[in-house]
Structure 1
């Protein structure tokens, strides 16, 4: 059947238009094409090409999903039926650090807690002074709790050989391992790694926000971060991600692999082990600690679910490390210990980067590009020596896990 002349003209015109558009698209210069900003070889990771934004600078926005905010008096201080959940702000602090602790309290109260009035829980291996209690109570409208660390949680364990400990201190201090000679620092790292979650004062608490003396918070946060963790089934929230000194954790990964050999079923199928083992670093630090990249969550800021630290997996892992003695013979910090456990035993999707919470612990920053922030320069990572910028390993986390 022969088509009418008008239909043949229309078909020819359509073909011509299609050919013209195809030629124009094929000749578009690559520089005018913008890459999407999420993908890469891993979900949410970097592209191999140049992204159209730098994810370390574009830190605006707030966590997706429902946000619990102040409505009327639902977060009023000491309200019996408030919207608060079983959570606390937690700090291990000494009496002589009072002024530095007040600095941290002022910042967090101003930017967040004056709205939500979550309790503060202070821990000390010595009794708190009356002055410490009075001035910290005056710094908040929320409840304040003062707890003593039990001697059995703080003292050097009986299985630590004092002669070997002193030899190790002398050796690693000569290699420049920071704080190696301070016994109290080793005790603190051990307590923060595995003892704090066993304190009776926290037995009914599920979530905590760790706040240390002399830190800064820069951004107004108007949602309940604890309820957000609960609503989104998150286990751990971090802010800064750094490389550690390989000398300080030389045998941590070998001891971890020993533990895994006995408990292979403890490793979560959707883990972040690649993040723990990828040693992509600047040339002068292109080395691992016997298999561990040393990348870790900087745990002076952490918002976490205590259930993870109380799980059988973590308790057995911590006890294995504790018996190995590395908290004293080396300088295993709670940051790498927490990070390795989370990277191996937890679903990586349950770990969240709180990019919207501006924070500083000298010498590092997390500075969002957000109008709710003041007092820090957007995108700044450090105000210290230029080489410190190379200690940032957030891009490694984004590569394997994403930016959630």
Structure 2
């Protein structure tokens, strides 16, 4: 009998160990929501298909604290910003109605409209009627809008012909080149923004689909974020062939500006679209689609960015090529900023034709969860968000 007890004990231990082994094999894996956004999703899966919610660290709001005008004591120095022409009034009103309905009617942040010509009385009357918040109407100084003196007119004309032959959109429109230059390095110098720290860029005809119940500007401030985006795309490499070489010249002269936690790998990835990397001479062409951007103006006002913009401006690519503010902003952020301070607003449903950011949320109406394009399937390959998540994450 004395020998039987150890045998039984060993048998029981063996059964316990076997059960533990089987449980390890069959136990359910942790869900994405339980392990946080630090775990990368498969690069070809739209993360908006997965459960999501508002970002962490947000504060609830009191309607009294965000009342229109001086009574709104909780607002910080921020504005909704739009570069818009008088003839784009209907498209601007549509965008305003969407953003007011989903967000700004709760927070009443002011709207600041910019134009290179004076706004009409009708534009002012109808836009002000679309919001309870203050509206400001600003004229762009001529010296900020005109073609700079160092641009050779004949070379510009010849260059635009080459761009047009390569199917580069808006290549021959002087006003488009002027707009790209202004959005890249001059808008934040306007006196109307002198006391502003944050802005949310809004363009005519864009759509917003989701109710957002927190102050996005305060979220940026409280969480030390510099830049927020919704959509991340590949650019047309034929529009920016010398942008990356000029950038490399600049950082060779100023290596001190490159942040140790940069996003260089995102900027130079040559795996998913090697054709773009080759044609853009080493630049992946990935960029934040800047028709939506929520940003801290301090970054554009920094010496690193000012010196970078001035270098590019003198190189002439805003006119001899078609350098857009989106790749210029994106390259600067990817090199000179801590990548952890760049935030994907996955909870803000957004569309600028033909692309969408459609979250999986009951707060969203009017867009299909995970939808990226307007139905043209070939455009799905333009999605560069998987690259961002691969190299940087979803912060």
Band of TM-score, shorter chain: over 0.9
Q: Establish whether residue 21 from structure 1 lines up as the match of residue 16 from structure 2.
A: no
Report what 1:181 is aligned to.
Answer: 172
The within-5 A match list for 1:3-402 is 8-9=6-7, 11-21=9-19, 24=22, 28=25, 34=29, 37=32, 43-46=38-41, 55-58=47-50, 60-65=52-57, 67-80=58-71, 82-281=73-272, 287-402=278-393
**Which region of structure 1 is more displaced relative to structure 2, 148-157 or 272-281?**
272-281
Report if aligned partners of 2:181, 2:324 keep a CA contact under 8 Å in 1: yes
Matched-pair contact (CA < 8 Å) for 1:38–1:45: no
* Cα shift at 1:387: 1.0
Distance 1:74 1:330, change over 3 A: same
Contact 1:43 1:401 (C-alpha < 8 Å) held by counterparts: no
The Cα shift of 1:80 comes to: 3.8
CA-CA distance at 1:16 after TM superposition: 1.3
Following the alignment from structure 1 to structure 2, what is the Cα–Cα distance between the partners of residues 384 and 91? 28
State the shift of 1:149 in Å.
0.3
The verdict on how the C-alpha distance between 1:293 and 1:35 changes in structure 2, with shifts beyond 3 A counting, is: farther
Gaps of 5+ in 2: none
What does the per-residue CA deviation read over 1:148-197, in whole Å, with 9 as the maximum and x for residues that have no partner?
A: 00001000000000011001000111010111011100000000000001
Residue pair 1:75, 1:83 contacting (<8 A) in 2 also: yes
- Kept in 1, the 8 Å contact 2:119–2:137? The answer is yes
Name the CA shift for 1:294/1:153 in 2 (closer, same or farther; >3 Å).
same
- Where 2:287 maps in the other structure, the secondary structure is strand
Return the TM-score normalized by structure 2: 0.94
Residues 259, 335 of structure 2: 8 Å contact kept: yes
Moved more, 343-352 or 380-389: 380-389
1:69 CA displacement: 3.0
| 8 Å Cα contact 2:277-2:284 kept in structure 1 | no
Structure 1, 118-127 or 6-15: larger mean CA deviation = 6-15
Aligned-residue offset at 1:383: 1.0
Q: Which runs of 5+ in 1 are unaligned?
A: none
Alpha-carbon separation, structure 2, partners of 1:346 and 1:285: 24
Q: 1 CA distance for matches of 2:198 and 2:108?
A: 14
Distance in 2, matches of 1:33 and 1:81, equals 49
Tell whether the 8 Å contact from 2:52 to 2:361 is kept in structure 1 after alignment: yes
CA contact (8 A) 1:44 1:398 kept: no
1:15-50 deviation digits (Å, cap 9, x = unpaired): 312442365357x48xx864764999x9542469x9
Instruction: Report the more deviating stretch, 271-280 or 206-215.
Output: 271-280
> Are the aligned partners of 2:243 and 2:323 in contact in 1 as well (CA < 8 Å)?
yes
The separation in 2 between residues aligned to 1:361 and 1:54, in whole angstroms, is 18
Partner-residue secondary structure (3-state), 1:123: strand
**1:385 positional shift:** 2.1
Q: How many Å separate the matches in 2 of 1:23 and 1:213?
A: 60
Q: CA deviation at 1:12?
A: 1.1
Structure 2 vs 1, CA of residues 59 and 332 (structure 1 numbering), >3 Å: closer, same or farther? farther
C-alpha contact (below 8 Å) 2:103/2:213 kept by paired residues: yes
RMSD value, Cα: 2.4
Q: Report if aligned partners of 1:279, 1:288 keep a CA contact under 8 Å in 2.
A: no
> How many residue pairs are counted as aligned between the two chains?
394
